[in-house]
A and B are shown apart, each in its own frame.
Chain A
Amino acid sequence: MGKLAPRSAFAGLLHSAGPSAAPGVLVREETGLGLATVFARAPYFPRLVQSAYGIIPPETSQVVSNGAVAFIGTGPGKWLALSRNGAAGWRDELATALGVTGSVIDQSDGFGVLRVSGEKVRATFEKGFPVDLHPSVFKPRSVAVTLVAHIGVTLWQIDDAPTYELAIARSFAGSFAHWLTSSAAEFGLRVEV
């Protein structure tokens, strides 16, 4: 048998819309990410994370990153652990690093991740996120686990631009893309590759 060809969650689903000059919203699918749901099971879990990655998993709805690896707080003692070095081996690497102090479940294919930025990103997100994204409230490293148009979304802010990343369960990618396209079209949505 030949190799199975992968297909990303948002493949073929994102389309530019609205005014194309100076689009207010830019979107790109982040492929090649390793994702895992991680639960802390023992008190020395944070120390093992720190020794492996140099970061301490946040205890609140924050994201802490060393550039390549990020721990995104999604609940008490629960994180979405993200690696920018690809999905292959990510779950096993984490499981080895954490041993019995944590449970690690591969979710690299469970979510599609979008990186969204642009001048009108907050104005767009206002049409779906029931979350206060004002810069005085939601800042770089802030995380929200929420619902957008009846679709579960995990949102975290990357920088002040503002740039956000969003994780959406794979099967909802089409419906989420429809919401994003409809909501951003008035400002112009450009899909970047």
Chain B
Amino acid sequence: MSGRRLASGGLINRAAPVRFAFDGRDFAGFAGDTVASALLANGVGLVGRSFKYHRPRGVFSAGPEEPNALVELRNGTRREPNTKATTAELFAGLVARSQNRWPSLAFDVLAINQLASPIFVAGFYYKTFMWPAVLWEKLYEPLIRRAAGLGKASVETDPDSYEKATAFCDVLVIGSGPAGLMAALTAGRAGARVIVAEEDFPLGGRLLAETYEIDGMPGAAWTAGVEAELRALPNVRIMRRTVVFGVYDGGTYGALERVSDHLAVPPPHQPRQRLWKLVAKRTVLAAGAIERPVVFGGNDRPGVMLASAVRSYANRFGVAAGERIAVFTTGDDGWRTAGDLLAQGVTVAAVIDPRTEVAPAVRALAGGAEVYLGAMVRDAHGAHGLRRIDVVRADGSSVSIAADVLAVSGGWNPTASLATHHGARTEWSDTKLAFLPGKTPPGLAVAGAAAGNFTTAEALADGVRLGNEAAVALGFTATSIAAIRTSDESFAVAPLFHVAAARTKAFVDLQNDVTVKDIALAEREGFRSVEHLKRYTTLGMATDQGKTSNVNGLAIMAELTGRSIPETGSTRSRPPHVPVAIGAFAGLHKGLDFKPTRLPASHGWAVARGAVFVETGQWLRAQWYPQPGETDWLTSVTREVKAVRGGAGICDVSTLGKIALEGPDVGAFLDRVYANMFSTLPVGRARYGLMLREDGIVMDDGTTARLADERFVMSTTTINAGKVMQHLEFCHQVLWPELDLDMVSVTEQWAQFAVAGPSSRQLLQTLFGPGVDLSDAAVPYMAARELQLDSIPARLFRLSFSGELAYEIAVPARFGAALAGALVTAGAGLGVVPYGTEALGVMRVEKGHVAGNELNGTSTAGDLGLGRMLSSKKDFIGRTMAARPGLVDPARPALVGLRPVDRAQRLRAGAHFLARDAKAEAANDAGYMTSVVFSPELGHWIGLGLLANGPQRHGEIIRAYDALRGEDIAVEVVPPVHVDPEGVRLRG
């Protein structure tokens, strides 16, 4: 046992013991513990194996900077790898496992990697596995992945839910240490809307881990007082367990709230985590600082810890990290660890400081412990836990000291990475021995230790000043805060980043097993810039993002290259500041809720009739309606097509875009946006229109009807409805604002059904009753009428996509479901069937109508056989560009019909066209099959395709070559209209 719970003290609740398990063993901790503090309290020093060499590792820190103590938390579907034991709150029944070890934590087979360490140097995979390259995927990568890598993710579906939310404030305060608390209090008292985001579960930051007094109170008690006042202010919102991970544009911040991570299972209706978008007018970044280690031999041994962490465990968690604790510090701060430990009755084995002189008050903190000034720790020893350290004095003599924990302090690195998210770099300060924030994102100011103002007094003063500044900038009146008394602290520190005399492996980045030798190798091989250094050695990557290694790595590179630290580079980071689960970014939008689903008014009616549905964009449309006994789609679809062509069918076409256009200039507007003429369209008529993009390619097609002189309704394809609306708005608002018209989407207003087939007129007559004249003379082909259906406004269009006598009827959407039923009732004696999008597609291919497969963003009007629609009497969008030589080349693939020479053969969409004797290679590609269907009318498969010189090749036999399915069949080129080419049926 190398650690223990102290008899008293700490902010844990000793009245609330909590049972948990680690690697199958049962342990007890207290409410208020982290997994790390509870393990240390139980004397568990070994918590994991390292990434590359599988070396034993222990708890290194007491916060989110932890590189070593990563565990798998929870079981089964909730298993969560790479969880930092230092931030995971203990809860009853918590189950954690160590990672990256096999078969057990104490005995790990792959620790043999250490013997092979010469091949695991920086860039090893580029070098070792260079040849033969074909083995990468099959051999090298799986091998490396098994050997390296950390925890394993659950591959099961996450049973928990996630939410996304947005909150607004005047002042966002990031962090709740002394600076953050005072910034929040001053801004809050001034009346500003304040959000305080604290990553930890209590407020207080370092105040919880120190023994300083503020206003005569322990830090934690003072914090509680401030928190109480903040909670009483209605304009202040405190968000605990919330980490701000990114700074975005316009005062937008990304934050993650761990709503239920501290519970075994989220409470009912609570998410596991909530992703916040915080929008702030001003921000005070008071994220504190992270202690910097010193690199020496064996510095990764379990028991080598940050001095501030040892202090946190003693003061906040009531845990002595070890029984004989040595302190190695380059500044005054480490001596406080010795002082706090002694005050708790823990044995301090020695204090080692490379400085030869230390202020008497600081020296006094070590009490009666052995003190080595002008000395350094050269190497640490102890395979599964620290046993002794070798200390080297200035004169070169060395001494070996027994210790089970070594508390290391090399100064502090401000947590200013959020301030660099807009691209600014941090700047090195020789006086603070730290990188300080440079230019900050707009509206963001940095306070306290994050700004390099490390003492409590400085932090409190910074908070007051910046909280007031933010409030005043927003028009609030500054508040005065009485001077706050704090314990005296000194913050002298000497530069020491690594001990060059180390004789054993010295680790710079514990998480990625990057050693001083790796940095030296990178330097020798020319990877000297910090960016190259990071990528070549992996220094600073993975879950801790180098929070305890980047600066040391950079300083070592500076030494190796004989440059100063600022000459060598600076640190800069990108969001996210801490890892964020993808699930949190997805929020509710997973599975079927990945995107919203749009349902036409008849959806429930179609469900009741057993329809099979297909997604078309966001819409769900009925694809076909299987009848009892029908087991495959082709049977159902063929039946539906035959029923339509033999009698009548109805199909919901509400999903097509519908745009109302009103005003005296609609005709002129349509002439410009459509390739063909619309201003001449008579009232009561509809016309097929073709819309081009500016570049001359076809954008969309549809029919537009003129309901009254100044009132039109346009239809678009389902897929392009939004795009066409956007295009028309752009044309009106930007290109021709002088045209007097208004437009709005009415897609949602009208439920619209195609009623098709030779009996369709009879069906509608039954529906409307004898009082409405539906004769060919009254409602001719392409007529558009506004009618009443049982005093409900209705619209009737005589349009046909199927090639049959056909109509489209529209009613206000609330009546859509009822109309579907009424149409079927009206057609009961006529053999009416509902038909889906598949039958619709079959009939349109039979008729050679182009659809999405042909309007594919690369085809011109000419390619689609619609060249004659391009009006020469007016200008329109796309006209000039459509005349480019490349777009009018007769050799361009153009629309043809196809049928298999052997009528029993099936056609395949996507098959490429080749001349009969051509070799199957790209140079001979003559186009491809765009759409194929089985034609019930013809009794064989038919297709549409885009074929080079297609219209001149009717009657030719070519090949449809489908390399994907290994098919190569002879097909005959025919005109695109396969059925009723004269259009006799259409006119009824």
Q: B593 to A105, Cβ gap below 8 A?
A: no
**Contact A7 B748, CB 8 Å, known A127-B165, A182-B588:** no
- B662-A103 in contact (CB<8A): yes
Say whether A3 contacts B790, CB under 8 Å: yes
Residue pair B269, A17 in contact (C-beta under 8 Å): yes
The stretch that binds B, out of A46-54, A58-66, A156-164, A170-178, is A170-178
Complex Cα–Cα for A151 and B598 (A): 10
User: When the two chains form their complex, are residues A126 and B166 in contact, meaning their CB atoms are under 8 A apart?
Assistant: yes
Which of these, B599, B662, B792, B817, contacts A171 with CB under 8 Å? Answer: B599
A119 at the B interface (CB under 8 A): no
How long is the Cα–Cα vector from A7 to B816 in the complex, in angstroms? 8
The interface bits of chain A over 101-117 (1 if a CB of B lies within 8 angstroms of the residue's CB, else 0) are 00101111111000000
CA distance A103 to B749 in the complex (A): 16
The answer to whether B813 touches A109, judged by C-beta atoms less than 8 angstroms apart, is yes
Is there a chain A Cβ closer than 8 Å to B812's Cβ? yes
Q: Are A5 and B769 in contact (CB under 8 A)?
A: no
B265-279: CB near A (< 8 Å → 1, else 0) gives 000111000100101
- Distance in angstroms from B744 CB to nearest chain A CB is 4
CB distance from A145 to the nearest CB of B (A): 13
B814 A130 Cβ-Cβ under 8 A: no
For A127, list chain B residues within 8 Å (CB): 163-165, 274
Contact A170–B818 (Cβ < 8 Å): no
Of chain B, the residue at the smallest CB distance from A91 is B793
B605's nearest neighbour on chain A, judged by CB, is A7
Give the CA-CA distance A4 to B810 in the complex, in Å. 13
Q: Please tell me the number of chain B residues within 8 Å of chain A, measured between CB atoms.
A: 57
Across the interface, A132 reaches (CB within 8 A) one of B279, B599, B742, B792, namely B279
Cross-interface CB contact of B599 among A87, A131, A134, A174, cutoff 8 Å: A174
B595 at the interface (CB under 8 A from A): yes
Instruction: Pick from A108, A136, A171, A179: contact of B588, CB below 8 A.
Output: A179
Q: 1/0 contact trace for B567-606 toward A, CB 8 Å?
A: 0000000000000000000001100010111111100100
Cα–Cα, bound, A175→B766 (Å):
36
Q: Is B124 an interface residue (CB 8 A)?
A: no
List the one stretch of B76-84, B452-460, B819-827, B901-909 in contact with chain A.
B819-827
Tell yes or no: A144 within 8 A of B by CB: no
Do A172 and B767 contact each other (CB < 8 Å), given the known contacts A109-B748, A186-B270? no
Other-chain contact of B748, A110, A149, A151, A174 (Cβ < 8 Å): A110
Contacts of B793 in A (CB 8 A): 106
**Docked CA distance A37–B662 (Å):** 12
In the complex, which residues of chain A have a beta carbon less than 8 angstroms from the beta carbon of B164? 127
Chain B residues numbered 154-177 whose CB sits less than 8 Å from any CB in chain A: 161, 163-168
Cβ contact within 8 Å between B168 and A129: no
Q: In the complex, which range does the number of interface residues on chain A fall in?
A: 35 or more
Inter-subunit contact B589/A150 (CB<8 Å): yes
B812 and A108 form a contact (CB under 8 A): yes
Chain A residues near B740 (CB, 8 Å)?
Answer: 41
Contact A7 B588 (CB under 8 A): no
Query: What DSSP secondary structure best describes chain B's contact surface?
Result: mixed
Please state if B597 and A175 are interface contacts (CB–CB under 8 Å): yes
Interface flags, B759-787, vs A, CB<8A=1, else 0: 00000001101000000000000000000
Q: Contacts of A128 on B, CB cut-off 8 Å?
A: 165
Interface flag for A8 (CB, 8 Å):
yes
Q: In chain B, what residue has the closest Cβ to A132? A: B168
B327 in the interface, Cβ–Cβ < 8 Å? no
Task: Indicate which residue in B168, B589, B822 contacts A1 across the interface (CB closer than 8 Å).
Answer: B822
CB distance from A181 to the nearest CB of B (A): 10
In the assembled complex, which residues on chain A have CB atoms less than 8 Å from the CB atom of B767? Answer: 1
Contacts of A7 in B (CB 8 A): 601, 814-818
Tell yes or no: B189 within 8 A of A by CB: no
Asked if A129 contacts B596 (CB within 8 A), the reply is no
Residue B660, interface by CB 8 Å:
yes
**Does A121 reach chain B (CB closer than 8 Å)?**
no
Q: Could you tell me the distance between the alpha carbons of A64 and B442 in the complex, rounded to whole angstroms? A: 37
Shortest A180–chain B CB gap in Å is 11
Q: Is the CB of A41 within 8 A of B663?
A: yes
Establish whether residues A185 and B269, one from each chain, have CB atoms under 8 Å apart when the complex forms. Answer: yes
B811 within 8 A of A: yes
Within 8 Å CB of A8, what residues of B? 814
**Could you tell me the distance in whole angstroms from the C-beta of A185 to the nearest C-beta in chain B?**
4
A1-33 near B? 1/0 per residue, CB < 8 Å: 111111111001000011000000000000000
User: B880 to chain A: closest CB distance in Å?
Assistant: 32
Given the contacts A1-B790, A169-B748, A109 and B598 also touching, CB distance less than 8 Å: no
Cβ-based interface call for A142 (8 A): no
The one of A39, A150, A182, A183 that contacts B596, using a Cβ cutoff of 8 Å:
A150
> Is the CB of B934 closer than 8 A to any CB of chain A?
no
Question: In the assembled complex, how far is the CB of residue B696 from the closest CB belonging to chain A, in whole angstroms?
Answer: 32
Interface centre among B161, B167, B660 (most CB of A within 10 A): B660
The answer to whether A171 and B748 have CB atoms under 8 Å apart is yes
Closest to B259 in A: A186
B790 cross-chain contacts in A, Cβ below 8 A: 1, 3-4
Interface membership of B474, Cβ < 8 A: no
B264 interface residue per 8 A CB criterion: no
Q: Which residues of B contact A5 (CB under 8 A)?
A: 815, 818
Contact between chains at B812 and A171 (CB < 8 Å)? no
Check if A178 sits within 8 Å of B593, measured CB to CB. yes
Given contacts A41-B740, A109-B748, A171-B748, contact A130 B277 (CB under 8 A): yes
With A7-B818, A105-B744, A106-B749 already in contact, the answer to whether A171 and B600 are too (CB < 8 A) is yes
Chain A residue, CB-CB nearest to B794: A4
Residues of chain A within 8 A of B599, CB atoms compared: 171, 173-174
Contacts of B811 in A (CB 8 A): 4
Report yes or no: B167 in contact with A126, Cβ–Cβ below 8 A.
yes
Question: Do B601 and A41 have beta carbons less than 8 Å apart?
Answer: no
Contacts of B268 in A (CB 8 A): 18, 185-186
Q: List 7 A-B pairs, minimum CB-CB distance, nearest first.
A: A171-B598, A175-B596, A39-B742, A185-B269, A4-B818, A110-B749, A110-B748
**Supplied contacts A109-B813, A149-B588, 20 more A-B pairs, CB within 8 Å:** A1-B769, A1-B825, A3-B790, A5-B815, A6-B814, A6-B818, A9-B813, A9-B814, A18-B269, A41-B663, A105-B662, A111-B748, A126-B166, A130-B166, A130-B277, A150-B589, A150-B596, A171-B598, A174-B597, A183-B163
Binding site for A on B (CB under 8 A): 161, 163-168, 193, 268-270, 274, 277, 279, 588-589, 593, 595-601, 604, 619, 660, 662-663, 740, 742, 744, 746-751, 766-767, 769, 789-790, 792-793, 811-819, 822, 825-826
Instruction: List 8 A–B pairs whose Cβ atoms lie within 8 Å, in order of A's numbering.
Output: A1-B790, A4-B818, A5-B818, A7-B818, A103-B663, A149-B596, A182-B588, A185-B269
